[in-house]
Structures are given as structure tokens and as C-alpha cells.
Amino acid sequence: MLETTVQPGTNIVTLDAHGGITAEEMLHVRAVLDEALRDHDSVRMVATRGELDVGDVSPKAPWPARTSAGCVKKLARLTVVTDVDREAKASEWTSELLHIPTRRLRLDERAAARAWTSRPQLLPPPPAHPSAEAGRGRPGTARPCSAPGAATTAQVPAIDLESPFC
């Protein structure tokens, strides 16, 4: 069984998976993700994962999951709530391979999982100086970067084209 919802007014998607999975349930996951992405630039997810019964997974269920893979790029934060070690290991792979902030908590820590997922996303600090962002200049200064002793336009002598030595 796979149940998916969006918390109203947020970009938080909840997913509860255990037992078998049908293709219709996977299509519903895609519809819920699309709904959340219509209103937001990203999705935060709380995935509660129980023991999956591989023998009870519909042969067509993996196809909608494969077509939803593009939504993974829009995943801003993932919280995996499980006591199943195999599912916990899969969440570690997600974090490492996709560079998504991921946290794994046990089933008795569901409130902490919702709190962590709901916490506002921290943005990276702005650059110290506008020229540092463009790769020109030292952060915090208006002076260009140069090696000690390097010539600047003020230090280069003018070339005398009338000289007999040119």
C-alpha cells in the first residue's frame, strides 16, 4: 500500500509505503508531486517506509516511478521514517547520490520527522562583495586580485613608437 498526500498550503508531501504497491498508487504519487510543484519550486518529503512485500508489487508499478524521476531534482529535503535497515540504507544512497539533505528517523520519532521537514530551508550566505561573485577581486575589497609584484596598467611603461630601438 502506498498513500501520498500534500499538507495543505505547503510543499510538504507525505508518503506512506508498506506491503505491496500497485501501478495506480504510483500514478497517484506522480499526481501529488505534480500538484505540489505547480504551486512551489521544490518539494519536501516525509517518507514513512515499512517492510515492502516484493511479491505483492505490481509488475507495472516501477514504470510510473521511473517517469517520476525528474521530480527528484525538485526534492529540497527528504525525511525517511523507518525501522527497516534496508530502507534506511536506501535513504543514505539518496543523500549521497542526489545531494539532497536527508535525515533518517525511527518510526517512534514521527513528530521529529515532521518538525525537521517543516523547518524553513536555510539559504547560503550572500557573497561578501559583488565582485567576488563574478570572480573579480578579493572578497570584501574593491581592489582586483593580483599576485605580489604583478604589473597593473598604471605600472606598465608607455611604448615609444618613434624610438630607434623599437
The mean-pLDDT minimum among 20-34, 54-68, 90-104 falls in: 54-68
Q: Find the mean pLDDT for residues 9-35.
A: 87
Most confident of 1-15, 48-62, 80-94, 125-139: 1-15
**Mean pLDDT over residues 149-160, rounded?**
50
Reported as a pLDDT band with limits 50, 70 and 90, residue 46 is very high
Statement: residue 64 has pLDDT above 80: no
Residue 41 has pLDDT above 60, yes or no: yes
pLDDT given for residue 21 in this prediction: 84
Cell of 111: 513528530
127 has pLDDT over 70: no
Query: Which spans in 40-154 are helix H?
Result: 62-67, 85-98, 110-118, 130-133
pLDDT greater than 70 at residue 114: yes
C-alpha distance from residue 27 to each of 34, 57, 65, 118 (Å): 11, 14, 8, 25
Q: What is the predicted pLDDT for the residue at 130? A: 53
For residues 47 and 78, the answer to whether their CB atoms sit within 8 Å is yes
